[in-house]
Structures are given as C-alpha cells and as structure tokens.
Structure 1
C-alpha cells in the first residue's frame, strides 16, 4: 500500500510503504504462486504492486524459495544429504547458498538450520574421544622424538669411545717403537760402564799388590784397556767371566812379566 504526498510546488512525491509482517496466510501464498506462474521467478519488488500483496520483495522471495517452490523436498534430511553437507561445509564454510546448489530440493535456509541444530555445538567443542585421540598422537610423537634423541646420543658416545681406543692404540704403538729403538743402545752403554768399572778395580788391586812385594820399589806395569777388554771377551766365550777372574788374570800377568 502506498501513501503519496506532494511537497511544495516541485511535485516531489514521498512514498511510504507499509509492509505486513508475521506469518503468511493461505491467501498470500496463493497470490504469490499465481504471480510466479504468470511472471516467473524474479522481479520480487514488483509483487506487491502487481499481485496486491502487502509484503516486500525480500519476504516474497524467501517465501517462494523456502516454502512454495514446487521442487522442494519435504521431510527430514537423509544421511546421504548429511554427508554432502558435512563435506561441502568443510570445503566452503558457511556459504549456504553454494551448498544448497549441490542439494536439489533443499534450501540454503533449511541447510543452515540443520547445521546449526546438529553440528554447530559439536564443531565448537570437540568430543572427548577426539581430544583423547589427539593427545595420544602428541604423546606418541614426543616419545618417538625422545627415542631418536637417545639413539643419537648413544651413537655419539660410541663414536667417541671408539676414537679414544684408536688414539690409545696409536700411543702404545709409538711407545713400543721408542722402547725397541732404545734397548740396544742402553745395553751397549751398560756394558761399557761395567768394563770401565772392572778396569778401575784391577788397576787399584795391582798397585796395592806391588807395594806389598817390593816395599814400593817395583812399579806395576800399566795395562791397557784394550788388553783387559780382550781378556774379558775370552772369559765370556768360555762362560767363566767374573770380576775376580779378570782381576787375578791381570795380576798374574804383571807378576810374571818382570822376571822373564
């Protein structure tokens, strides 16, 4: 219903539309169906003028799409339709009109109401089973990470120990080589020291013996180190070498020499 008012001399008309609200009556549904049969869907803002309805264009469109359309499905949403709603909502979210295109005979408003009634609370608060499953997965991942870290640590310690063993073997081999090189030199040095000691002892004994025989008039002949050394080698060949033998032999030689 339109109310017109002319303001001033400009001839400008202000229209005030008074729309009816509330539930649709059977007569209103009949007028809307007749309008769509004659003019087709669309041009909803013309319904009030052409069909005499006191409803705005949006109200006429929603009434037709959601309730009066002949291809609408009646009854509860089937399990197959529910699966499609869940799948498409996971892909497109709350785009109800887009979802409705994949469900012939179902309106976007019907799908939206069904979702909010059956799935909205579940989507906001996950079930205990899902939460427990998530916790189990997280604990399993943490345990696997800890196991991996422990294995890496053990491998690192084993490599360190193996390297330490190799280093110690190398050090021991070097020490053994050094000892092998030093042994002949040490033995020869010790032999020379023992021969020098024997020569010194023999010289002192000979001097003391000659002083007793000649009251200091017979001097002991000097014995070369070469003679003592050769004499010592002779005794070594026969296995009878001692310090005493070396001294007595040198003494007898020196006693006999002056009287020959």
Structure 2
C-alpha cells in the first residue's frame, strides 16, 4: 500500500471525467479536501480524498459515508452526495463528494476579532448553537469525535450563529466516553473563543461555571451530553 501525504491536485485538473478541481480547502490525518465543480452542471461541491494507507479496503471512507448518511437529518453537518474512485499514479484513490458550504473557518474568524477573541456573551451564543447542533448527533447515538476551530464553518453571525461542522473521526462504535469527549471539546472551543488562558482569570463567574477550569471530571459531572449543556445555557442567569 503506497504512502501518500499529499495529492497536490492543481486547479483545473479533471477527475473521473465528471469533476474539476478548483482549489484545496484543507488537509488532515486521513486525507485532503478540495473544492470541486461538476463539469456538466457547474455546481460546486467539496471532495474529501483519502490517503490509501489510511483507507485500507475503503473501510475509513465507507464508515465516513455511512455515518454522514445516518446523520443526514442533523442540520449542522454537511450533506453527503456520493463516493467516487480515481486512478492516481497506478493505484485507486477513493473520494467522497459532499455539499460545498460557503463560510469561514472558526479559527480564521477568531483571528480577525479584536484581541483574537470574542466577548463572553457572544461566545455563549456560539457555544449554544454548537451544543444544539451536536445534540442532534448525540440523540442519534453517535458522536463527532474531532471538534476544534478548524472543523467549524461560520456561515453567518449576529444575533445568532449559522454553523456547519466538517470532518469527523472514527474512534470505534459510539460509547459514553465519546459523548463526553464531544462535550469537553465544546467547552474548550468556548474557552478558546473568549481568549483562553491569558484572560481566563479575569472572566466572570458565569464563564468559569461553564469552563470548570477545563477539568474533564468537573465538566462531565455537570454536562453529561451536549443537550444538557444546551439546557444549561438556556436557563442560566447572567447577572
């Protein structure tokens, strides 16, 4: 099995006689994501190409496709369309085609803000919409497994956030620990959004009651699921 750490597709490359590469969108442990265009319709899509040594027997790509299909009614997730295979330097490479979501990565959004952070009250709105989105996944007895600022797309913000999650990670069949991991990742995203360690000591008590000092045992004792976190935010008092 060849080891590939980058496909390095150039703009204009035609794949499977159906798609044209527009630009790279990101890369990770499993593969690379590109913005592509359907040649016949001009519709823009996103395509995730899996490194062959990370996708032996297409196990990873099939798991990913099946999970996206199972969770297709969860509005925070991108919508999966189809699976394709191309010949890459003499060996098959699988890629998944999904909807292309316009927006800005949360990591980039935060870097543009004054002090590279957002006010606590706005961050609570961000956390609320993230928790509500993850709740829909948890209710399906599933988990995300890879929540961080580079996997959250901000489509709109103001009174509320319109968010999409990209990528997931397979840690095996869903267990309560996976749910806890998602909850702790949600709290960490909130913590980072308000400025992290350098400003945490000066934060209001309402903020610290959510972050719990980032201590996992305290977080999962207080919030056993994304739904409990959402409910807490809906009923908390802001003095």
Bin for the TM-score computed over the shorter chain: under 0.3
The alignment's TM-score, normalised by the length of structure 1, stands at 0.24
The alignment's TM-score, normalised by the length of structure 2, stands at 0.25
More strand by share: 2
Which one has the largest radius of gyration?
1
Structure number with the bigger relative contact order (C-alpha 8 A, sep ≥ 6) is 2
More helix by share: 1
